[in-house]
């Protein structure tokens, strides 16, 4: 109780609150600019955090990342350019609905459900952190491998009815992830003697290329669909939100829980959580036609999940000093530099710091609604301008964003190539979303596949020995077989209908 009171006193200090507000605005700006990720916001904050006390330093990271993940939804909805990878899963659906004149509603849903998802994740973090982290620690490479395969399997069904094209896009993304040094032996693969490719294809420039450049080219080609003025509800961002929250309460709870759990798994961050929640949403929806057409269900699910995952990633980070994602890896480094050792002992030695971090999470997520509203108001006038005029600054921002990740002009080249490939893919009906998913998860899948194979000397049957691994494998097989079962059922229904009409 003493530690709790001490934590409240620490967070209530004006300089800590000011740090939270300034970092939140910084996170919003970084998240809003396509190509600059929440990880980049965190990395840019570290030099400043060195001058702050431990609570302010961690508070600045928590606030900036929460805001950046939400702010990534703004250009995603308004311009089909996900500000951060965590918004990529539902960017197509958000943009399509925005083009149909529902931009205000979608942005309102983004900000409200992001904040609620973050608060949900924080509650889980505070109450059940040791349990979840303990569970994640019990998983071996076999379970991680099957979890990753299951996530990818679900994603193939996200892309629509064309499984062949979705699977091809996913395999292409996974193949891109193999470029560079192999994780097991360090052998360079597919780098064609290019030193810049030894560490793999830079992800953020590729992301900008796949999502931004095709959209810019389509707009300049003069596609009718790309010329619309999406904003028609500028003044009604929060209109009907209470009703929406009540209507989608079960989706919110399910996806936030899923996002928190995914976030708590090492290596799986907010972007994986968003993709998984999106896939689950599509599978479990009661009205598949409305889900595809005009429902916001998929957006509610994934936008809740990605912010919940942020809090979830802190569970193993704080309790076991195992980073849930790159952001918490940086945060752990900051804690060490501030002489605060994360791990089980933090509850005994620095409980007040721990509680202060928890309090910061609540404040940052509550601040998201007013600050997010302001950010949206600033963004909306952008769409009043003709779309083709916007493309010039957008392309220059994309170029500088691709450069800024590693301060390397190679990023601009990667962006250009990926953009042209992305344009070709979309022109021929291949979805680009699974490519990005494959790039995100490729390393995880291969790493766990190889680790598991080495453990069992190549005996694949032992991938099914552990009970959780077996359950995950069976579930994966069910997901794969589901389209086949549906196809057979459809054929049977058709043949029974035709025989019935023949008898009439």
Is 457 a binding residue for another protein by CB under 8 A? The answer is yes
CB 369 within 8 A of CB 111: yes
CA–CA separation, 212 and 273 (whole Å)? 22
What is the C-alpha separation between 24 and 368, in angstroms, rounded? 8
Is 113 an interacting residue with respect to another protein (CB under 8 A)? no
Nearer to another protein, 12 or 386 (CB): 386
Cβ distance to another protein smaller for residue 163 or 290: 163
DSSP 386: -
Q: Which is nearer to another protein, 103 or 174 (CB)?
A: 174
Between residues 83 and 316, which has the closer beta carbon with respect to another protein? 83
- Should residue 416 be labelled a site residue for another protein when binding is judged by CB under 8 A? yes
Q: How far is the CB of 72 from another protein (least distance, A)?
A: 17
Q: How many chain residues interact with another protein (CB under 8 A)?
A: 59
Query: Euclidean distance between the first and final Cα of the chain, in Å?
Result: 78
As a whole number of angstroms, the distance between CA 91 and CA 279 comes to: 14
CB of 375 to another protein, least distance (A): 15
Is 103 a residue that touches another protein (CB under 8 A)? no
- The verdict on 461 binding another protein (CB under 8 A) reads no
Residue-by-residue DSSP string for 466-479: SHHHHHHHHHHHHH
**CA-to-CA distance for 229 and 385, rounded, in angstroms?**
8
Least separation, in Å, of the C-beta of 173 and another protein?
10
- Is residue 234 a contact residue for another protein (CB under 8 A)? no
Is residue 128 helix, strand or coil? helix
Distance of alpha carbon 105 from alpha carbon 86, whole angstroms: 20
Instruction: Give the DSSP letter of residue 189.
Output: E
Q: Does 195 bind another protein (CB under 8 A)?
A: no
CB of 302 to another protein, least distance (A): 26
H helix intervals, 72-162: 73-79, 91-97, 103-138, 141-158
* Backbone phi and psi for residue 181, each to the nearest 5 degrees, phi listed first: -65, 135
Could you say whether residue 184 binds another protein (CB under 8 A)?
yes
Tell whether residue 207 is a contact of another protein (CB under 8 A). Answer: no
Question: Whose Cβ is closer to another protein: residue 119's or residue 402's?
Answer: 402
User: C-beta of 206: minimal distance to another protein in Å?
Assistant: 13
Q: Kindly report the length of the chain.
A: 504
413 near another protein (CB under 8 A): yes
Choose the binding region for another protein from 80-88, 142-150, 356-364, 397-405 (rule: CB under 8 A).
397-405
Q: Is 486 in the site for another protein (CB under 8 A)?
A: no
Provide the mask over 426-445, with x wherever binding to another protein is found by CB under 8 A and - wherever it is not: -xxx---------------x
Query: Among 71, 354, 449, 473, which residue sits at the site for another protein (rule: CB under 8 A)?
Result: 449
Residue 79 interacting with another protein (CB under 8 A)? no
In whole angstroms, the minimum distance from the beta carbon of 458 to another protein comes to 6
Indicate whether 419 belongs to the interface with another protein (CB under 8 A): yes
Residues 292-321 that bind another protein (CB under 8 A): none
In the range 5-44, which residues lie near another protein by CB under 8 A?
A: 44
Give the distance from CA 46 to its chain's centroid. 22
> Residue 362 corresponds to which tokens in the numbers above?
């609540």
Q: Does 415 bind another protein (CB under 8 A)?
A: yes
Query: Residue 223, interface with another protein (CB under 8 A)?
Result: yes
Note the Cα 89 to chain centre separation in Å.
7
Q: Which region, left, alpha or beta, applies to residue 386 given φ > 0 means left and ψ of -120 to 50 means alpha?
A: beta
* 222 touches another protein (CB under 8 A): yes
Q: Which residues pair with 180 in a beta bridge?
A: 189
Q: Is 162 in the site for another protein (CB under 8 A)?
A: yes
Q: How many CB atoms lie within 10 A of CB 146?
A: 26
Q: Which residues contact 153 (CB under 8 A, 6 or more apart)?
A: 476, 479, 480
d(CA 152, CA 448): 14
- Residue ranges in 373-392 that form contacts with another protein under rule CB under 8 A: 386, 388-389, 391-392
Q: Which string of DSSP letters, residue by residue, matches 44-61?
A: HHHHHHTTS-HHHHHHHH
Q: What are the residues binding another protein (CB under 8 A)?
A: 44, 162-165, 167-168, 171-172, 174-175, 178, 182, 184-185, 187, 189-190, 213, 216-217, 220-224, 386, 388-389, 391-393, 395-397, 399-400, 403-404, 407, 409, 412-413, 415-416, 419-420, 424, 427-429, 445-446, 449-450, 453-454, 457-458
């Amino acid at each position: 109780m003493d530690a709790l009171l001490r934590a409240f006193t620490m967070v209530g200090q004006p300089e800590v609150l000011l740090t939270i507000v300034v970092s939140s605005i910084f996170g919003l700006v970084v998240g809003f600019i396509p190509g600059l990720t929440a990880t980049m916001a965190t990395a840019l904050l570290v030099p400043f955090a060195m001058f702050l006390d431990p609570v302010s330093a961690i508070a600045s990271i928590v606030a900036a990342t929460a805001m950046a993940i939400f702010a990534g939804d703004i250009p995603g909805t308004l311009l089909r350019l996900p500000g951060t990878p965590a918004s990529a899963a539902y960017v197509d659906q958000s943009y399509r609905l925005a083009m149909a004149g529902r931009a205000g509603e979608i942005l309102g849903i983004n900000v409200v459900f992001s904040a609620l998802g973050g608060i949900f994740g924080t509650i889980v973090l505070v109450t059940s952190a040791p349990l979840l982290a303990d569970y994640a620690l019990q998983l071996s490479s076999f379970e991680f491998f099957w979890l990753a395969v299951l996530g990818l399997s679900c994603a193939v069904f996200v892309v629509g009815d064309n499984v062949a094209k979705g699977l091809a896009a996913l395999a292409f993304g996974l193949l891109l992830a193999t470029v560079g040094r192999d994780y097991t032996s360090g052998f360079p693969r597919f780098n064609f003697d290019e030193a810049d490719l030894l560490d793999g294809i830079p992800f953020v420039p590729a992301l900008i290329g796949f999502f931004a450049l095709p959209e810019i080219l389509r707009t300049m080609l003069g596609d009718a669909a790309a010329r619309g003025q999406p904003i028609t509800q500028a003044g009604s961002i929060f209109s009907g939100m209470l009703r929406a929250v009540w209507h989608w309460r079960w989706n919110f709870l399910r996806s936030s829980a899923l996002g928190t759990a995914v976030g708590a798994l090492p290596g799986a961050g907010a972007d994986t959580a968003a993709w998984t929640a999106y896939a689950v949403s599509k599978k479990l929806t009661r009205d598949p036609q409305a889900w595809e057409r005009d429902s916001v269900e998929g957006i509610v699910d994934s936008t809740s999940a990605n912010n919940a995952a942020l809090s979830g990633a802190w569970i193993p980070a704080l309790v076991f000093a195992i980073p849930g994602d790159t952001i918490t890896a940086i945060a752990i480094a900051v804690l060490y530099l501030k002489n605060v050792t994360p791990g089980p002992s933090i509850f005994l030695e620095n409980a007040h710091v721990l509680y202060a971090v928890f309090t910061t999470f609540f404040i940052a997520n509550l601040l998201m609604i007013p600050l997010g509203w302001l950010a949206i108001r600033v963004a909306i006038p952008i769409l009043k301008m003709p779309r083709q005029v916007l493309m010039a600054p957008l392309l220059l921002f994309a170029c500088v964003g691709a450069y800024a990740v590693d301060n390397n002009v190679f990023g601009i080249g990667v962006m250009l190539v990926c953009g042209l490939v992305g344009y070709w893919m979309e022109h021929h009906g291949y979805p680009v979303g699974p490519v990005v998913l494959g790039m995100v998860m490729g390393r995880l899948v291969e790493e766990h596949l190889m680790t598991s194979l080495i453990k069992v000397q190549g005996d694949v049957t032992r991938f099914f020995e552990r009970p959780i691994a077996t359950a995950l494998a069976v579930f994966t097989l069910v997901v794969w077989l589901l389209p086949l079962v549906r196809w057979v059922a459809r054929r049977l229904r058709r043949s029974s209908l035709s025989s019935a009409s023949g008898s009439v």
